[in-house]
Amino acid sequence: MPAAGLRRYCWHSGATVNGHRKPSYDQLEATLLACPRCKRAVPVRKRLLLILPEGDKYEYLCPQCGSVCGTKLEHAPLKPLM
């Protein structure tokens, strides 16, 4: 049980598919990350780095100094079999 005054938050919806919970979000997008060079949180720019068979790899850049603040791999959508 959570301590007094604290609440637990659920990051999924109540909808179920085949007995499994379906997430209420598809992808998360970073807008503010800590820059290792500037030593503070900055709004980041997303840049396509690589196109891979498993998906596209992006990096998040600091707009002030250009340092890489993080990366993300967006998986390619599944294609239906014909």
Is the whole-model pTM more than 0.75? no
Q: How many domains does the chain have?
A: 1
Contacts of 59 (CB under 8 A, 6+ apart): 46, 47, 49, 68, 70, 71, 72
Tell me if 80 is assigned to some domain: no
Using a pLDDT cut of 90, give the percent of the chain over it.
Answer: 50
Tell me if 53 is assigned to some domain: yes
What pLDDT score was predicted for residue 76? Answer: 76
Q: What are 28-67's pLDDT values in tens digits?
A: 788 899 999 999 999 999 999 999 988 999 999 999 999 9
Q: Which of 32, 69, 27, 65 is nearest to 47 (CA)?
A: 69
Tell me if 22 is assigned to some domain: no
Residues of the domain holding 36: 27-75
Burial class (CB in 10 A: 0-12, 13-18, 19+), 46: middle
Tell me if 16 is assigned to some domain: no
Tell me if 8 is assigned to some domain: no
Tell me if 42 is assigned to some domain: yes
Tell me if 54 is assigned to some domain: yes
Tell me if 68 is assigned to some domain: yes
